[in-house]
A and B are shown apart, each in its own frame.
Chain A
Amino acid sequence: MPALSDINSKIRESARKLLADGRAEVVIGYRQGTVPMTTSPMFARKPAECDQLIWSNFARINLANYLPGRPGKVALVAKGCDARSAVGQVTENQILKDNLYIIGVPCTGMIDTNLVLAKETRPIKELVETTDEAITVKGEGFSTEINKADVLRRNCQTCANRTPKLADELIGPETPGANPDDFADIKALLNKTPDERMAYFKDLIKDCLRCYACRNACPLCYCPICFVDETRPQWLGKSTDPMDTLTFHILRGLHCSGRCTSCGACETACPVNIKVREFNRVTELTVQNNWHYEAGQSWDQKPPLTMFQTDDQADFIK
């Protein structure tokens, strides 16, 4: 059971060294959030600033999101999924491999705040976390310890890649992966009629505000102008009309095909708790079945949607 303070010291030590050696101009990591159960991205440029870097059971936002197009040398504090996203961005030519240094933190999964709030419904005023296995939440007249295993995010429950294997260094020993996603629910869904699937996805996004937090928290969504923001022509209506909203989610899901690393940043960012990953899980299953491809697992693999091979299935062209 590694103490978070040990992980913190190792991250800080590494960050300070990288800055001092000129290996990185900036270290992107996490700092403590200002309210319980939050963290905030931290950009450390001076050795003294590295003291604010922390590790947490709430280090959920994928910091690879800050890489695309970034000039200069950068070090990234990354979980297994985040490191895969960063590798994916290198293969998609969004950042030069030589400019990237990955400080890999073997992960034990991150906490879904909603699950904590479901377990402890009284107003939480304080969080205590000292290890990566349990947390204590406190409020007026209560102090409740919660095992992390009981409140893991959905994507973390089925993460087989908790250790960032392609990282330049690892902070602490490797952590075992969980049983991978078996996509059982998605397979069942895909066997339903188009009408049933439409009803499922319409219900899934019924609370969507179109704030685009999912898109903006996603390390894959780096288009300079998203198709929903284009005006000449304007492809989509701007209201919360169910078809316009669903079109956004479906198209975003398709654009992410074969690139998603199930980091869950979209679901963490969503303010109305939409299971945004359901769209990505459909496309991931399809890509895995057809091309046996998983994003971010090697530096030189090419994403299936950017490739053409003569033995590709082409029976849809007659």
Chain B
Amino acid sequence: MPEYLVKESGLKEFFQSLANGRHLLTPQGTGDKCKLEEAGPDKVNLDYSNTHMSPKSAFFPQSENLMAFHNKSDKPNPFVYQDLGDKAQPTVIFGIRPCDARGLSISNRVFQNDRFTDPYWKGKYEQTIKIGLACASPSPQCFCAAMGGSPYGELGLDVLAFKVEGGLGLKPVTAQGEELIKQTNAAQEDLAQEIKKQEAKAIEAQGVGTDLKPIDDKDLMELFQDPHWTATAENCLNCGVCTFFCPTCHCFDIQDEQSEQGGIRMRNWDTCMSWLFTVHGTGHNPRPSKTERVRQRFMHKLKYIPLKQDGIRGCTGCGRCVVMCPVNIDIREVALKMCQPPAQSQA
């Protein structure tokens, strides 16, 4: 597909046409206040490292009502749970970073696959056109390239946008994305070499990442039984920050809540860092201490998801957990320990 260009003077019109008949979410605010929000086509922030939280909540909100019942006997279907359906509407998100788009594509395979489809995720995911914004300048916590991605990665996106001198370059990734771009004022322009040049520069700025192939090669049980986990977990507070900020963490807890009028069945983000996550009705807990819980998170990201998703790692290198973790547990350091032969991984 050919590339397109929007001149700086035409950006407002471009965003207006994206918002035409759709909700348009764009990055608003800077630093840790940066959020993907609906704020109008003339207020788009193109200068941000990344959004404070990952975009997953646009498809998988922290709390989502799934079903409801009422207790009025004179109305139809009292005391029977009714599906609340999905209220998804046509949406365009502009400014998803490639690491987060990759994260969405990983979660998408959890919520939609050949075994089952989650209707609540599917409705929102399929009605949303995802436009990424490439990262020309990585932050100290960024390591997407080491995880198999790229600051100019396309996985999970419909269009990849990138800043060029005097405007915004656009590279359609899907037919749906190209269709949308054709409805705007963007004009065709050959920018293939420009993207390659920018991408090489951005990857170089990230520095050489760790080669994680030893994790792929190591046997699952060998990684699981490595003696380093106790020391690796020693710092951990077992809060849920890493999981809530992670673009690929997708675990949830289903709860029924009742009031005098009836009740709702909802799902809420859950976290494998919590004792409660695995405790059984008997009181037995297969992950009794933080060592097992920390091991679970890193094994899930770096071993279980790659095994299930054709080698794609469950960490996309967005670096949120590295910065947000109150005790700075760095998945890059943990990955290094997982790479080492058992004798050296104890420290």
Q: Which of A152-160, A211-219, A288-296 contacts B (4 or more CB under 8 A)?
A: A211-219
User: A125 and B239 in contact (CB under 8 A), knowing A34-B330, A238-B253?
Assistant: no
- Please measure, in the bound complex, the distance between the C-alpha atom of A209 and the C-alpha atom of B240, giving whole angstroms: 9
- Please measure, in the bound complex, the distance between the C-alpha atom of A141 and the C-alpha atom of B257, giving whole angstroms: 54
Q: Is B245 an interface residue (CB 8 A)?
A: yes
User: A239 and B63 in contact (CB under 8 A), knowing A41-B327, A123-B139?
Assistant: yes
CB–CB A123/B49 < 8 A: yes
Q: Is A36 an interface residue (CB 8 A)?
A: yes
Q: What residues on B are CB-neighbors of A36 within 8 Å?
A: 140
Q: Mark B251-291, 1 if CB is under 8 A from A, else 0.
A: 00101010000000010110100111001000000000000
Min Cβ gap B57→A in Å is: 10
Q: Is A40 an interface residue (CB 8 A)?
A: yes
Q: Is B244 an interface residue (CB 8 A)?
A: yes
Min Cβ gap B283→A in Å is: 9
- Please measure, in the bound complex, the distance between the C-alpha atom of A233 and the C-alpha atom of B139, giving whole angstroms: 45
- Please measure, in the bound complex, the distance between the C-alpha atom of A117 and the C-alpha atom of B245, giving whole angstroms: 20
CB–CB A216/B238 < 8 A: yes
CB–CB A140/B30 < 8 A: no
Q: Is A273 an interface residue (CB 8 A)?
A: yes
CB–CB B235/A213 < 8 A: no
- Please measure, in the bound complex, the distance between the C-alpha atom of A231 and the C-alpha atom of B279, giving whole angstroms: 10
CB–CB A40/B255 < 8 A: no
Q: Is B84 an interface residue (CB 8 A)?
A: no
Q: Which of B32, B141, B322, B326 contacts A269 (CB 8 A)?
A: B326
Q: Is B39 an interface residue (CB 8 A)?
A: no
- Please measure, in the bound complex, the distance between the C-alpha atom of A200 and the C-alpha atom of B31, giving whole angstroms: 25
Q: Which of B30, B62, B63, B326 contacts A213 (CB 8 A)?
A: B326
Q: Is B329 an interface residue (CB 8 A)?
A: yes
Mark out the residues of chain A between 248 and 277 whose CB falls within 8 Å of any chain B CB in the assembled complex: 265, 268-269, 271, 273
- Please measure, in the bound complex, the distance between the C-alpha atom of A209 and the C-alpha atom of B324, giving whole angstroms: 13
CB–CB A237/B257 < 8 A: yes
Q: Is A19 an interface residue (CB 8 A)?
A: no
CB–CB A239/B255 < 8 A: yes
Q: What residues on A are CB-neighbors of B276 within 8 Å?
A: 229, 231
Q: Is B332 an interface residue (CB 8 A)?
A: yes
- Please measure, in the bound complex, the distance between the C-alpha atom of A238 and the C-alpha atom of B49, giving whole angstroms: 31
Q: What residues on B are CB-neighbors of A61 within 8 Å?
A: 326-327
Q: Is B127 an interface residue (CB 8 A)?
A: no
User: A38 and B323 in contact (CB under 8 A), knowing A211-B239, A231-B276?
Assistant: yes
User: A34 and B266 in contact (CB under 8 A), knowing A125-B140, A269-B239?
Assistant: no
- Please measure, in the bound complex, the distance between the C-alpha atom of A210 and the C-alpha atom of B240, giving whole angstroms: 8
CB–CB A212/B239 < 8 A: yes
Mark out the residues of chain A between 37 and 60 whose CB falls within 8 Å of any chain B CB in the assembled complex: 38-41, 43
Q: What residues on B are CB-neighbors of A217 within 8 Å?
A: 237, 239, 326
- Please measure, in the bound complex, the distance between the C-alpha atom of A33 and the C-alpha atom of B139, giving whole angstroms: 15
Residue in B closest to A125 when the chains form the complex, CB atoms:
B140
- Please measure, in the bound complex, the distance between the C-alpha atom of A265 and the C-alpha atom of B324, giving whole angstroms: 14
User: A34 and B239 in contact (CB under 8 A), knowing A229-B274, A239-B257?
Assistant: no
- Please measure, in the bound complex, the distance between the C-alpha atom of A225 and the C-alpha atom of B276, giving whole angstroms: 9
CB–CB B31/A211 < 8 A: no
Q: Is A114 an interface residue (CB 8 A)?
A: yes
CB–CB B275/A229 < 8 A: yes
Most A-side CB within 10 Å, residue of B49, B266, B326, B333: B326
- Please measure, in the bound complex, the distance between the C-alpha atom of A240 and the C-alpha atom of B255, giving whole angstroms: 13
Q: Is A121 an interface residue (CB 8 A)?
A: yes
Q: Which of A35, A41, A213 contacts B140 (CB 8 A)?
A: A35
How many residues in A have their beta carbons less than 8 Å from beta carbons of B?
40
Residue in B closest to A31 when the chains form the complex, CB atoms:
B328
Q: Which of B62, B235, B271, B323 contacts A35 (CB 8 A)?
A: B323
Min Cβ gap B291→A in Å is: 14
Q: What residues on B are CB-neighbors of A38 within 8 Å?
A: 323, 328
CB–CB A211/B330 < 8 A: no
Q: What residues on B are CB-neighbors of A40 within 8 Å?
A: 235, 327-330
CB–CB B268/A238 < 8 A: yes
CB–CB B268/A239 < 8 A: yes
CB–CB A213/B239 < 8 A: yes
Q: Is B74 an interface residue (CB 8 A)?
A: no
Q: What residues on A are CB-neighbors of B231 within 8 Å?
A: 43
User: A34 and B274 in contact (CB under 8 A), knowing A140-B137, A211-B239, A273-B32?
Assistant: no
Q: Mark B50-64, 1 if CB is under 8 A from A, else 0.
A: 000000000000110
Q: Which of B32, B234, B253, B326 contacts A117 (CB 8 A)?
A: B32
Min Cβ gap A214→B in Å is: 8
Q: Is B11 an interface residue (CB 8 A)?
A: no
Q: What residues on B are CB-neighbors of A65 within 8 Å?
A: 237
- Please measure, in the bound complex, the distance between the C-alpha atom of A123 and the C-alpha atom of B30, giving whole angstroms: 10
User: A271 and B245 in contact (CB under 8 A), knowing A125-B139, A213-B240?
Assistant: yes
Q: Is B241 an interface residue (CB 8 A)?
A: yes
Q: What residues on A are CB-neighbors of B327 within 8 Å?
A: 40-41, 61
CB–CB B328/A213 < 8 A: no
Mark out the residues of chain B between 17 and 31 whose CB falls within 8 Å of any chain A CB in the assembled complex: 30-31
Q: Mark A220-248, 1 if CB is under 8 A from B, else 0.
A: 00000100010100000111110000000
Min Cβ gap A209→B in Å is: 5
User: A117 and B62 in contact (CB under 8 A), knowing A41-B235, A213-B239, A238-B253?
Assistant: no
Q: What residues on B are CB-neighbors of A229 within 8 Å?
A: 274-276
CB–CB A268/B326 < 8 A: yes
Q: What residues on A are CB-neighbors of B275 within 8 Å?
A: 225, 229
CB–CB A239/B266 < 8 A: yes
Residue in A closest to B330 when the chains form the complex, CB atoms:
A34
User: A211 and B63 in contact (CB under 8 A), knowing A229-B276, A271-B245, A271-B324?
Assistant: no
Known: A117-B32, A217-B239, A269-B239. 7 other contacts (CB 8 A): A34-B328, A34-B332, A65-B237, A114-B32, A209-B240, A212-B239, A213-B237
Shortest Cβ-Cβ A-B pairs, 5 listed: A269-B326, A213-B239, A239-B63, A211-B240, A216-B237
